[in-house]
Amino acid sequence: MSVLLLVLLLGLSTFLLGLLVWSICKHLLTTDVPSALKHPLKLRIMHCMFIYAITLGNILEKLSICSMLSFLRFVQNRLVQKTKNPKVVVTDLHFGTIPVRLFEPKTMSCSPRRGIIFYHGGGGVLGSLDSYHNLCLFLALETNSVLLSVGYRKLPYYHYPVIASDCLNATIHFLKRLKTYGVDPSQVLVCGESVGGGAAALVTQALVGHKDLPQIRAQVLIYPVIQGNNFQLPSTQQNQNIPFLNLDFLITCICKYMAIDISWKDAMLKGYCIPPETWEKYRKWLSSDNIPERFKNTYQEPQFPGTLNEAAYLETKHMLDVQNSPLLADDETIAQLPEAFLVSCEHDILRDDTLLYKKRLEDQGVPVSWHNVEDGFHGCILLFDWKSFSFPCSEKILNAVVSYIKAL
């Protein structure tokens, strides 16, 4: 029996070691790490482990042990060591079925505090109240604000449109009870990162015209997902193989959340699912013509969109809903939005989403502050307190966000 156990352990160790070697090889063959990114070796090591986790998750899913998405989230949550700070009271609550976490500074205040509603990132796959706990704690403490973190439901059990609806419902619930939490109704802002940034934009748009609720003071969008229609923008070409959000993982997350079969990936990338009349209607907002020339180095203008594939359109047409692409909201809605602080990262596949939304807001007279991090990459803000695995760009983004919020 002990011999059999030893053989099994040896086999498992060999398998895991082989998987690690395969992950390293895949990284070296398929991943770009631009020279402008600080600490490239650190980034490479982390990305190899990311590939390792995804690959192991896929194997576990094929063996019907657990889904790859659940495994990834499990690993992420185990990597985060939640910090405690005696200056902040942290309370876990539920707004109906939506888990939320409230961060309240302990220091006495002679007047109601600013309120921040935070929506985490993760593509509907990763991210949780726990994995963003330290970030939210830092924001609440540094800005002396009451912060509500929304733990919207995610894949693999929940699909479109649950992220938008959960974020909106939790926000409305909070806005109706601001006095309970000691929040100034005139000083509430929404803040989101990645898909959470897209959710923040959607929530802000959805609340336009709701006179029965306190108005949102500002929106802070950190490299947000703003559209899912044009995948031929300069940043998509330039950064499609940059850790940690490459083109393949981006499309996989979108397809899984939107319940689109991955076989339509090529049609989505080349625009075969966009009718000509639809493109003419939205081109003024979606086209790469809106991207400043300085971001177009090495950019090859594609033939986009391609010839319409009717079947592809029927399968993916919900991508054109405003609820999935806040960039496509009408001018009247955009013009009523509160001021915005937008953060983009130079080496992010979604960089141009931010640039498109920046122009969209400015064209309608919405005040916009913009911060582009030249050595930044997607998801870097979450690494701000990872000690030896943190990056300068993480601190730059956090400092910029804190400075903007405190100046409101």
Active site (catalytic) residues: 194, 348, 378
CA distance 273 to 264: 9
Phi, psi (rounded to 5 degrees) for 319:
-65, -20
> Quick count: other Cβ atoms within 10 Å of Cβ 231?
21
> Quick count: other Cβ atoms within 10 Å of Cβ 392?
13
Task: Answer yes or no: are the C-beta atoms of 101 and 149 closer than 8 Å.
Answer: yes
b/e for 144-160, b at 16 or more Cβ within 10 A? ebbbbbbbbebbbeebb
Task: Answer yes or no: are the C-beta atoms of 95 and 345 closer than 8 Å.
Answer: no
CA distance 256 to 262: 8
b/e for 174-193, b at 16 or more Cβ within 10 A? bbeebeeeebbeebbbbbbb
Q: Which residues lie closer than 8 Å to 84 by C-beta, 6 or more apart?
A: 90
CA distance 120 to 381: 11
Helices 68-79/40-62 angle, 10° precision: 140
CA distance 204 to 115: 15
Upper half-sphere CA count for residue 297 (Cβ side, 13 Å): 4
